Amino acid sequence: MFTVTLLTSPAKPKLDAALVENLRNAWGGGKTRWLAPDEAAEFDIPQAPDNQWDIWEDLQKLQTDLIVQPTTNRRKKMLLADMDSTMIEQECIDELAAEAGVGARVAEITARAMNGELDFEAALRERVGLLKGLPEAVIGQVLDQRISLMPGGQVLVATMKANGAYAALVSGGFTAFTTRVAAQLGFDENRANTLLVEDGTLTGAPGTPILGQAAKVQALEDITARLGIGAGDVLAVGDGANDLGMLRRAGTGVALHAKPSVQAQCDIRVNYGDLTALLYLQGYRRDSFTA
């Protein structure tokens, strides 16, 4: 059995009931369950449809996300989330670079690295090198003035934790950012890279070892082993090439507003919903969300 979920942006909910019913009929689905009026609905089908991606492309033109996944074990026991452009709306290193006067150069490297065009570790070293001499105090200024939370993140974490799940933030960014973001959102733990500092300024070097794609997979394996659960019990979410390992390893791996090369390698893609979409994918109704 498979469950089909259709989603639109909660900021501008416009899920067409007739569209949902037409697709349900075409795919021989069971009764429609509305998870949020005009925003999210689901129904079950006996087998995965052959034309799923053709329909997906058509629905993207209508700003509607379509996800088809096995019905069993949809509600997860652990959330494993990337931070930059996933739980926050920015790339923290790009914001530091803007303060250092090298914003355009660093943003270009970040975009290429997240799209899988550059080696992540080498790209991180190059970008951090361009921050050499930046006062450490700028980190706090960036956090206060430039960083905003991705819509739906607090509700996602709170609802999953209220239902017994564990939440871990794993980032190729920096602990100076993940520590605050994790506390704001209610994550149980966070892992990230470090920025080396001497005499109150950044040295231009990251701490080692560098946390990249393999380290995110290792975090998944370490934490699930500690909790006594399996990878199939994990919902992972990210947007960049360095997230692909954990997205593939998790029971549910969500490419959220992801780079094109990342989307192409993921079966679950959310382009119009916010982070609450991850709750709908697990069958939560909006009226059961934890504020």
Nearest to 63 by CA among 211, 277, 243, 240: 277
84 is catalytic: yes
How many CB atoms are located within 10 Å of the residue 228 CB?
8
Q: Which two tokens stand for residue 232?
A: 């199939």
CA dihedral 168, 174, 176, 178 (to 10 degrees): -20
Contact 252, 268 (CB under 8 A): yes
Catalytic option among 65, 84, 243, 274: 84
The phi and psi torsions of 227 (rounded to 5 degrees) equal -85, -15
**Whole-number Å distance between alpha carbons of 172 and 191:** 9
Q: Is 248 helix (H, G, I), strand (E, B) or coil?
A: helix
157 sits in which H/E element: helix 153-162
82 is catalytic: yes
Catalytic option among 50, 54, 82, 119: 82
Nearest to 138 by CA among 105, 95, 74: 95
Nearest to 236 by CA among 112, 102, 80: 80
Report the catalytic residues: 82, 84
